[in-house]
């Protein structure tokens, strides 16, 4: 097999790239790709037969920055109403599910700010109010992804001061996430939904979407900033070669007591992604929640009016 043919066949078998995309990668004409790899549609259908649901649109709900216990119950209630109707294939907790004030390095020398708080209580009430609540309103085959944000990472940082507790206070262990079927994504890890990379997020500047796109050079959605923003970049060489970075709003209380009314740009909301596994193409929708209510597909979610 020639080197070119070898490359084309390998890409056709192992990726969802179109013939034109393969041609661009290996530096040949789409006709050559067609000769060695067949048509894109035929290839995708064959893969679909093998992969089962590759041509079924997959529905993902992205839940950003819950910050339990500093979340807004009416926001979560409306999202839960939506989850029941929407029946997603996947729920992704994008990081900072828990605030974990009691082990925060910021509070290390401030016992007043940790008074009465217990790590065990934080874990258990989060489990009951969030994870178990969602497990009870979704199907058993729902894929569940638990991303570690900087707040969950506080546990690792805490054990750097208390190595004797290493592993013992671990959130994955305590909540038995893996045993319960959760896919746990480590701090700064990436979860893929088709061609979209889901991350917790890094940057906190004014133009965070621009900064994130510059760093990732690909389609990415993140939380972390509690502030919706989007930035898109289109290659002048290939008009199809565009990428977007999207920041989602948050589920947490947007005016928490500890901020003492300081100004912020936090907004409530969450994300919905629909994607086709055969191509990896997706649509991402940012839902903004105002006073605990929002609308989707002609239905109102929120408190009774």
Between 19 and 223, name the residue whose CB sits nearer to Fe ion.
223
Between 181 and 189, name the residue whose CB sits nearer to Fe ion.
189
Binding status of residue 72 toward Fe ion by CB under 5 A: no
**Nearest approach, Cβ of residue 156 and Fe ion (Å):** 16
**Nearest approach, Cβ of residue 224 and Fe ion (Å):** 6
Between 187 and 242, name the residue whose CB sits nearer to Fe ion.
187
x/- mask, Fe ion, residues 32-71, rule CB under 5 A, reads ---------------------------------x------
Binding status of residue 101 toward Fe ion by CB under 5 A: no
**Nearest approach, Cβ of residue 199 and Fe ion (Å):** 13
Between 249 and 302, name the residue whose CB sits nearer to Fe ion.
249
Secondary structure (H, E, C), the chain: CCHHHHHHHHHHHHCCCCHHHHHHHHCCCHHHHHHHHCCHHHHHHHHHHHHCCCCCCEEEEEECCCCECCECHHHHHHHHHHHHHHCCCEEEECCCCECCHHHCHHHCCCHHHHCCCCHHHHHHHHHHHHHHHHHHHCCCCCEEEEECCCCCCHHHHHHHHCHHHCCCCCHHHHCCCCCCCEEEECCCCCEEECCEEECCCCCCCCCHHHHHHHHHCCCEEECCCCCCEEEEEECCCCCCCEEEEEECCECECCCCHHHCCCCCCCCEEEEEEEECCCCCCEEEEEEECECCEEEECCEEECCCC
**Nearest approach, Cβ of residue 71 and Fe ion (Å):** 11
Window contacting Fe ion (CB under 5 A); options: 49-57, 74-82, 96-104, 210-218: 96-104
Between 106 and 168, name the residue whose CB sits nearer to Fe ion.
106
Between 96 and 122, name the residue whose CB sits nearer to Fe ion.
96
Binding status of residue 96 toward Fe ion by CB under 5 A: yes
Window contacting Fe ion (CB under 5 A); options: 94-102, 193-201, 258-266, 291-299: 94-102
**Nearest approach, Cβ of residue 51 and Fe ion (Å):** 35
Binding interface with Fe ion (CB under 5 A): 65, 96
């Amino acid at each position: 097999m020639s080197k070119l043919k070898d490359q084309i066949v390998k890409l056709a078998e192992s990726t969802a790239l179109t013939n034109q995309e393969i041609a661009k990668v290996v530096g040949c004409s789409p006709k050559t790709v067609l000769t060695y790899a067949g048509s894109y549609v035929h290839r995708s259908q064959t893969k679909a037969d093998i992969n089962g649901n590759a041509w079924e649109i997959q529905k993902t709900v992205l839940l950003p920055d819950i910050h339990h216990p500093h979340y807004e119950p009416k926001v979560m209630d409306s999202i839960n109403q939506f989850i029941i109707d929407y029946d997603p294939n996947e729920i992704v907790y994008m990081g900072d599910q828990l605030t974990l004030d009691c082990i925060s390095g910021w509070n290390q020398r401030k016992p007043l700010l940790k008074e009465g708080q217990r790590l065990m209580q934080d874990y258990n009430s989060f489990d009951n109010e969030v994870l178990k609540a969602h497990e009870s309103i979704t199907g058993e085959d729902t894929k569940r992804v638990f991303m570690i944000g900087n707040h969950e990472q506080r546990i690792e940082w805490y054990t750097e001061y208390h190595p004797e507790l290493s592993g013992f206070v671990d959130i994955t262990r305590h909540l038995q996430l893996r045993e319960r079927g959760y896919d746990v994504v480590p701090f700064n890890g990436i979860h893929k939904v088709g061609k979209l990379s889901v991350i917790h997020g890094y940057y906190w500047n004014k133009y965070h979407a621009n900064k994130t796109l510059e760093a990732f050079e690909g389609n990415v959605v993140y939380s972390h900033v509690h502030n919706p923003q989007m930035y898109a970049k289109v290659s002048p060489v290939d008009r199809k070669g565009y990428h977007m970075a999207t920041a989602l709003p948050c589920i947490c209380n947007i005016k928490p007591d500890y901020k003492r009314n300081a100004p912020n740009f936090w907004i409530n909301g969450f994300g919905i992604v629909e994607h086709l596994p055969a191509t990896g193409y997706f649509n991402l929708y940012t839902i903004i929640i105002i006073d605990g209510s929002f609308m989707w597909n002609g239905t109102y979610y929120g408190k009774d009016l």
